[in-house]
Structure 1
């Protein structure tokens, strides 16, 4: 299993657009056997601190690759470019 912590920063003033984009692409996770474990917004986000943090479990690298290449996800690239300034992916482990 792969567990990702996804850190997202919006373009200035695009917090709502980022959330709407993420709503759409996260809905595709199930197609690839993935699960959204947690999704939270940081009210105190800055250039250094992300606006949104997600934890996602995926069965394996093939599932992650398939999710990233999902045609319905890639079709939303313009929405992503308009709303998301920065994304960081961290491979993490569940501690409990």
Structure 2
């Protein structure tokens, strides 16, 4: 019998279209609010200025498994906001990460 699946940890980098950084943040406020209903949580969320090609927002997310991630991505409330997402987000990069806290062991 297989053991329990480890949760996924994702890093999400977001770049805004010109003059839409505040709208990107509002959009993310809304869609990230849907995560808990799918077994997910925001572990870290930082917002930058986007200057020099850096992302406007960086998120570290935890979600139960791929099925939960798929359900979150297909959530009708999130899908209904696709036009807003396209309007405010120029680029997104999402990749799996291994979350570690603290410094090296001494």
TM-score normalised to structure 2 length? 0.86
Alignment gaps of 5+ in structure 1: none
Give the aligned partner of residue 3 of structure 1: 9
Give the drift of 1:46: 3.3
Work out whether 1:25 is the aligned partner of 2:41. Answer: no
> Which runs of at least 4 in structure 1 moved beyond 3 Å after TM superposition?
none
Give the drift of 1:42: 1.2
Structure 2 counterpart of 1:74, from 76, 79, 86: 79
TM-score normalised to structure 1 length? 0.94
Give the aligned partner of residue 90 of structure 1: 95
Q: RCO higher in 1 or 2 (8 Å CA, sep ≥ 6)?
A: 1
Work out whether 1:63 is the aligned partner of 2:78. Answer: no
What is the total number of aligned residue pairs between the two structures? 95
Q: CA RMSD in A?
A: 1.0
Alignment gaps of 5+ in structure 2: 1-6, 102-106
